[in-house]
Structure 1
Amino acid sequence: MRTAAVAAAAALLLASCTSGEGDDQSGGPAGCDTGKGTLVIGVIAPLSGAMVAQGRGIENATRLAVDQANEDCTVNGYKLTAQVQDDGMNPKLGAQAATMLATTPNLVGVVSTLNSSVATSVAPVLDKAGILQISPANTNDQLTRGEDFRENPKRQFRTYFRTCTVDSLQGPFAANYLVENAGKKKIAVVTDGLTYGEGLANTFVEQAENKGATIVTRQRIEPGTKDFTKLVAALRPFEPDAVYIGGHYPEAAPMSAQLAANGLKIPVMGGDGIFNDTYLTAGGRDGDLATSVGAPVEDLDSAQAFAKAYEEAGYQEGFGAYGAFAYDAANAIIGALATTVGEDKWSDSKRDDLVANAGRYQGDGATGKVSFDEFGDTRNHVLTVYEQRAGAWQAVETGEYVD
């Protein structure tokens, strides 16, 4: 997903690294034998910047999984703790965070990252160290299967997995709905130039054109853009009947508002990067559309159980679009860890076994069945289209992409 050059994030990361802010300092779980010590599950997510709400959801959901595992004495003889690092949506800060975690004693795995562009710098660091990484939110196909992922897929990082599905499915799923269901034929495409946005837009464009739509223009904006006067002027001559954005809600929401204010009262559609409640209040309009990975919470009993536990835990922030996927990622790490440790003691020499057990992991998660294919991708390919109606996201179609 998204990255941005956030200068202040470097200072925030340094502060969190040196102060230990965000680390779980609670005592051992009652009734469990924790005599073997403490094992660490890392988190790398944006805890500063425009996407902080999503980052906090990932952090909190991971903590929930850790707390539940401690209550259930899941890993024999050990207490689990979460250690959290802020990547500020910045690949360089992400690499620093990964390097710090890689040197943390008794680190067993990392739930990370939100942004695909950050993952491109984090995954090599963790992979070189042999550390298990499971992302709840990266959707760019190249992270698991390489640049030529359609014709010649090759696994890129042995230790990298993800619980969310990929853009090569999400983009076409959106195109099918916008062209066939919404009847839009003249579509303008806007991207933010980042790994997530460009990859998602590419897959959308290909399928939209296959379905008979015309991409009337493709424009690029800079991350952090707030004034879309030039974009409106660039789009107007093409008279599009919809805009598809490969990007995120901090830009997409005000873009939608400014399009309408300047006479282009047409729907804006995007991927999971705009599926956030902030979009609804920052300029999003009724009729705008978003796809997101997975099924709506209300459609899954397992997701409702997660949502209830999350609420009862008292976190200040909502779990957002990726909290359930982070919860499943953390539980996959914990489940694989329990199998790997068994009655023995953990050591870094067991990292290869842990990665292998993660590859074999099968569980009933908040998002449904959790398991991984030979590339580390989830086998759960469910997607949902949401429409903004009366100031809220309403699910309008759920399923798997079928060509």
Structure 2
Amino acid sequence: MRQRSLIAITAALAAGALTLTACGSRDSGDKGSSGSGNTTVVIGVDAPLTGQNSATGLGIQYGAQIAVDDANKNKTVPGVTFKIQALDDKAVPATGQQNASQLVAEKDVLGVVGPLNSGVATQMQQVFATANLVQISPSNTNPELTMGKNWQTNKVRPFKTYFRTATTDALQGAYAADYAYNGAKKKKAFVVDDKQTYGAGLSKIFQEQFVKQGGKVIGTDHVNVGDRDFSTLVTKIKNSGADLLYYGGQYDESEVLTKQLKDAGANIPLFGGDGMFTPTYIKTAGKAAEGDLVTSIGVPVDTLPAAKDFVATYKAKKYPGDYGTYGSYAYDAATAIIKAVGQVVKDGKIPSDARAQIVDAVQKNSFDGISGKIAFDEYGDTTNKQLTVYQVQNGEWKSVKSGTANPKS
């Protein structure tokens, strides 16, 4: 997933992000809060923890937290205590860049999980690359982040420090198009996006693939982040004769759009990507959400035997946020960093080039995570290409199909 950019960034927001301080220490006398070793290694987390997208952002924070707690409890890396330092980017790219600089400056930070939004990632990648600090996003899906701007014709990896446990929109958009045409039997789509990196990219791929499947795109339009009145757009969609609305963007706008669309008498499903896949969408849209569809990465976490303990822990701790969207992928991202630290840090001793060594170790790592097999290809993309279509049924997201995408050329 994902991008969200806000026009105004107040000094208060920037100051709020910068007041968060590192909690790590390499002092041999510092036992840390969990007591699993005498050297503290910090794993940074960057995500929107307040405001827009905070439900999914908090799921990332606490998914990583559970991985760290498990590593400390199991003494996964002898002589090392792991800690999380979570910074709030508020889904603002510039704030994410500030957070990246802050994490780089803290010598105890040996890896970062995040961000949530693809647009935020574009402003963080160079900062981490310059410092040889590994970054693993559990949710970014824009193909350009790993394969460059010309990824469709000439794949070039921009930053060797960037990885992700989420598969890309190149597959998500194609999987949605295939299901829309062949599964839901929709033939005429109206396509809308929010003009952001994630939304515009995803809707473009859906549009291309839907046409290649045999469908017809009978209208396109855009909305702005923060819009709440979609009356003009709703009239346009209703009059178009479309039997499906595909939306590239996030739940903040789509949950309002679908309600206004149904209230106007256009009883057609709204289909979107993982940016919509949260219980918040259903809570806000209410009955209007019934029948709506999304694609999301992987398979339902509640069905994965390896994730059983993770889900139980998240619920028992009563952590805020939504673990079901990216929580397990954040857990696995943090675990990939922890395993790499274990290969580099011996007997609690951190080498001077630890960050660079950890990048190389992450690239070579391969293990069974709670979300599936965790390994990275030559671009830093996950080798796990599983996707799932969910539909709102009786007020809940229910999985209707899981598999892998086969984009039409």
TM-score by length of 1: 0.95
SS at 1:44 equivalent:
strand
Matched AA of 1:71: K
Say whether 1:29 aligns with 2:31.
no
Q: Contact 1:44–1:84 at 8 Å: present in 2 too?
A: yes
Which of 298, 313, 317 aligns to 2:317? It is: 313
SS state of the match for residue 403, structure 2? strand
Pick closer, same or farther for the CA change 1:9–1:371 going to 2, 3 Å. farther
Shift of 1:11: 2.1
Q: Is the 8 A contact 1:98 1:122 kept in 2?
A: yes
Name segments (4+ residues, structure 1) moved above 6 Å: 21-26
- Residue in 1 that maps onto 2:261: 259
Q: Is the 8 A contact 2:198 2:249 kept in 1?
A: yes
Of 361, 386, 394, which residue of structure 1 is paired with 2:365?
Answer: 361
Query: Match of 1:331?
Result: 335
Which residue, out of 47, 50, 53, partners 2:52? Answer: 50
- Structure 1 residues 22 and 186: CA distance shift in structure 2, 3 A: farther
Alignment partner, residue 375 of structure 1:
379
**Which residue pairs with 1:276 in the alignment?**
278
Secondary structure of 1:321's aligned partner: helix
Separation in 2, partners of 1:115, 1:10: 21
Cα separation, partners in 2 of 1:354 and 1:266, compared to 1, 3 Å: same
| Preserved CA contact (<8 Å) 2:32 2:40 | no
1:293 to 282, 297, 315: 297
Q: Which residue of structure 2 lines up, in the alignment, with residue 141 of structure 1? A: 143
1: CA distance, partners of 2:167 / 2:199 = 15
Residue of structure 2 aligned with 1:106, choices 105, 108, 130: 108
1:8 shift after superposition: 6.5
Native 8 Å contact 1:189 1:217 kept in 2 = yes
Query: Contact 1:10–1:93 at 8 Å: present in 2 too?
Result: no
User: Does the 8 Å contact 2:24/2:108 carry over to 1?
Assistant: no
The C-alpha deviation readout for 1:119-177, integer Å capped at 9, x for no partner, is 00011111111100000000000000011212211111110000010000000100111
Residue of structure 2 aligned with 1:124, choices 123, 126, 149: 126
In the alignment, structure 1 residue 11 sits paired with structure 2 residue 12: yes
Code of the aligned partner of 1:351: R
Gaps of 5+ in 1: none
Name the aligned partner's letter for residue 17 of structure 1. L
Secondary structure of the corresponding residue to residue 125 of structure 1: helix
Distance 1:9 1:321 in 2: 29
The Cα RMSD (Å) is 1.9
User: For 2:211 and 2:145, how far apart are their aligned partners in 1?
Assistant: 25
Cα 1:314–1:13 change in 2 (3 A) is farther
Equivalent-residue separation in structure 1 for 2:388 and 2:279 (angstroms): 16
Count residues with an aligned counterpart: 400
* Residue equivalent to 1:87: 89
Task: Report the TM-score, using the length of structure 2 for normalisation.
Answer: 0.94
The one-letter code matched in structure 2 to 1:241 is D
Moved more, 390-399 or 45-54: 45-54
2:195 is aligned to 193
| Equivalent residue, structure 1, for 2:217 | 215
Distance 1:207 1:257, change over 3 A: same
Cross-structure match for 1:240: 242
